[in-house]
Chains A and B, each alone.
Chain A
Amino acid sequence: MTKVLEVKDMHTSFFTYAGEVKAVRGVSFDVELGEAVGFVGESGCGKSVTMLSVMGILDEVGKVTAGEIIFNGKKLAGLSDRRMQKIRGNEMTMIFQDPMTSLNPVYTIGNQMIEHQIRHKKISKSEATKKAVDMLKLVGLPYPEKRIKQYPHEFSGGMRQRAMIAMALVNNPKLLIADEPTTALDVTIQAQILEVMKNIRKELDTSIILITHDLGVVASICDRVNVMYGGKIVETASAIEVYHNPKHPYTWGLLKSVPNPKKSSKEKLIPIEGQPPDLLKPPVGCPFTPRCEYSMRICEKEMPPEFKFEGDHRVACWLMHEKAPKLSLSSTGKGGN
């Protein structure tokens, strides 16, 4: 398998009046060709900032302070804006949570999709129009020939998100980053969009990065899952491993705090008490320590290294150390799945 994206020990900070906010603190991950990778975590854990850093679209105060981003064999750090613009929107595209604010309200959908292609490729307008119609058909928009002449306000939320996806795919990118693509949508529409994203993988072989806080959404699409907390990836494994054999207490907490509708008994939800850490003054040790039931003395003092397990399952938690007590989700006595 070839790696489409490789991120190595990336740090991103925002330099604000209050001080340096270390939003991403040493994140490493790979995305392979045709793979769907999920990023899960609470708001403020750095999952969106990681992707904005990869795309090079951080706002003025944000800066990648260390680490490497290698896309398709090319190092992205230090590329000029012009070179970056050739990659962005062409080989690597991103869609956002709110499709209304990402579409230009004064141009028709078709206009925006055609402009997008002409900007990056030598293509005639009629060919570009045809491609746009094909893409809209692929994402399941009814009457695409009619729809490309319409403006974003004539579309419903679900249709706008479909149009966004079509627009992101029109240049056959290698990587599509979707930042909470279904959060603003109803469940029935969410199911439609997830189906569209599954089809894309089958038809186009595009790699997908999916950022979400909904564990159910990740479960239905992704091959690999990265769990983020406090600006770090705390656990990474195949989707099945993360749900059936999670090793980090934060992953346990996430899984236990959502009700599984398949269960008929009314069991109590187990919330994770407390609040996520303040990244203005990030903790020295493991960021999850104050909310962790199983924290030990070492957790406060030192960030745990990555412990590796079978099947490329990596966990940053001191509980995995050979001297630590052996715990697992099922042995915590509170049940799980």
Chain B
Amino acid sequence: MGEALVEIKNLKKYFTMKKRLFSREHSYLQAVDDVDLAIMKGETVGLVGESGCGKTTVGRTILRLYEPTDGEIFFSGENIARISQKDMLPYRKRMQIIFQDPYASLDPRLLVKEIISEGMDKSLTKREVQKKVAFLLSKVGLNSEHANRFPHEFSGGQRQRIGIARALAVEPEFIVCDEPISALDVSIQAQVVNMLEELQDDFGLTYLFIAHDISMVKHISDRIAVMYLGKIVEVAESNELYNRSVHPYTQALLSSVPIPDPVEARQSKRIILQGDVPSPIDIPPGCRFRSRCRYAMEICGKETPVLEEIDPGHFVACYLTKK
């Protein structure tokens, strides 16, 4: 630890939207706006937020699957935000992604061994490839017989394991886990989460774990960043964030997580947010959460709060901390 493997600074990703079909006027969907985040080597950082808050866009922009509009992305010290796709190639095998939908992310016409070996080093002999595929399959809890089957022969949990084996095939250092368990059943979710933790120990991986299930994120992550409408509103170590959250949005988000215990669930007071997340197109200035915030003040509508460290390692973007 100590050294950042991935660091993003002032990252912006705007999607251009045409106002009308043939008009030249454009409006911008500010999916990610001025996001700073550092991920240390060997660490798991959780990224949570409601759908549409830009958490997936952050993950994909780090991998340059989306071109950043502005800002810097450092991967082990090198700025990769604006290098060409060709120069990007050596970095591609150092960073991988696991997708949410295990049904859509595997090519149905390829055998499992072809899916896994596709990205491997081309200098490997056939036998070496075979050995490596078998090794990877055993690492994700499948066996070598599964190599000669097609994806449709597997259940959701097993497909997600194949997706993970594919990500591991190029021996990456950094993996973006984009909602890897939300499409799976509860009992299977725990299997996959445990496996991800074991793999992290075995291969020294660094994860960016994107999810909306906060209890799972808290379980797996060392630190958690909370996003709202394209901005990070709070970052802290997981237990600190859970027990001493400061931003009103984080508090509401945490209190709305259903507790699997009827007695506690009935006693706990929920903060119920009113309304929905506003549209991310042409956002007015000021704090983005103010329309749903219980404590909104005058200043919240005028200026945008920035992330500030209130305790060591605990960053919050809210004017309430200044009172």
A, B bound = yes
Question: Residues of A with Cβ closer than 8 Å to B?
Answer: 42-43, 142, 156, 158-159, 186-192, 194-195, 213-217, 219-220, 222, 239-240, 243-244, 253-262, 264, 266, 268-273, 275, 337
Q: Using a Cβ cutoff of 8 Å, how many contacts connect chains A and B?
A: 131
Question: Which residue of chain B is the closest to A266 with respect to CB atoms?
Answer: B219
Interface presence of B166 (CB below 8 A): no
Instruction: Determine which of B51, B155, B187 lies in contact with A271 in the assembled complex, contact meaning CB atoms within 8 Å.
Output: B187
Residues of B in contact, count (CB < 8 Å): 44
Asked whether, in the complex, the Cβ of B187 is within 8 Å of the Cβ of A214, the reply is no
Asked whether, in the complex, the Cβ of A187 is within 8 Å of the Cβ of B259, the reply is no
Asked whether, in the complex, the Cβ of B218 is within 8 Å of the Cβ of A261, the reply is yes
Q: How many Å lie between the Cα of A127 and that of B80 in the bound state?
A: 64
User: Given A43-B185, A187-B253 in contact, is the A271-B190 Cβ separation under 8 Å?
Assistant: yes
Instruction: Determine which of B188, B190, B242, B261 lies in contact with A219 in the assembled complex, contact meaning CB atoms within 8 Å.
Output: B261
Interface presence of B89 (CB below 8 A): no
Question: Which residue of chain B is the closest to A142 with respect to CB atoms?
Answer: B275
User: Given A187-B257, A216-B265, A217-B258 in contact, is the A259-B276 Cβ separation under 8 Å?
Assistant: no
Asked whether, in the complex, the Cβ of A42 is within 8 Å of the Cβ of B261, the reply is no
Q: Which of B236-260 contact A (CB under 8 A)?
A: 239, 242-243, 252-260
Q: How many Å lie between the Cα of A243 and that of B259 in the bound state?
A: 11
Interface presence of B193 (CB below 8 A): yes
Asked whether, in the complex, the Cβ of A271 is within 8 Å of the Cβ of B265, the reply is no
Interface presence of B143 (CB below 8 A): no
What A residues does B270 contact at CB under 8 A?
191, 195
State how many angstroms separate the Cβ of B122 from the closest Cβ of chain A.
Answer: 35
Question: Residues of B with Cβ closer than 8 Å to A?
Answer: 50-51, 155, 157, 185-191, 193-194, 197, 212-216, 218-219, 239, 242-243, 252-266, 270, 272-273, 275-276
What B residues does A158 contact at CB under 8 A?
276
State how many angstroms separate the Cβ of B145 from the closest Cβ of chain A.
Answer: 16
Q: How many Å lie between the Cα of A253 and that of B186 in the bound state?
A: 10
What B residues does A269 contact at CB under 8 A?
190, 193-194, 219
State how many angstroms separate the Cβ of B22 from the closest Cβ of chain A.
Answer: 22
Asked whether, in the complex, the Cβ of B186 is within 8 Å of the Cβ of A215, the reply is yes
Asked whether, in the complex, the Cβ of A188 is within 8 Å of the Cβ of B215, the reply is no
Asked whether, in the complex, the Cβ of A254 is within 8 Å of the Cβ of B187, the reply is yes
What A residues does B263 contact at CB under 8 A?
240, 243-244
What A residues does B189 contact at CB under 8 A?
257, 271
Question: Which residue of chain B is the closest to A261 with respect to CB atoms?
Answer: B215
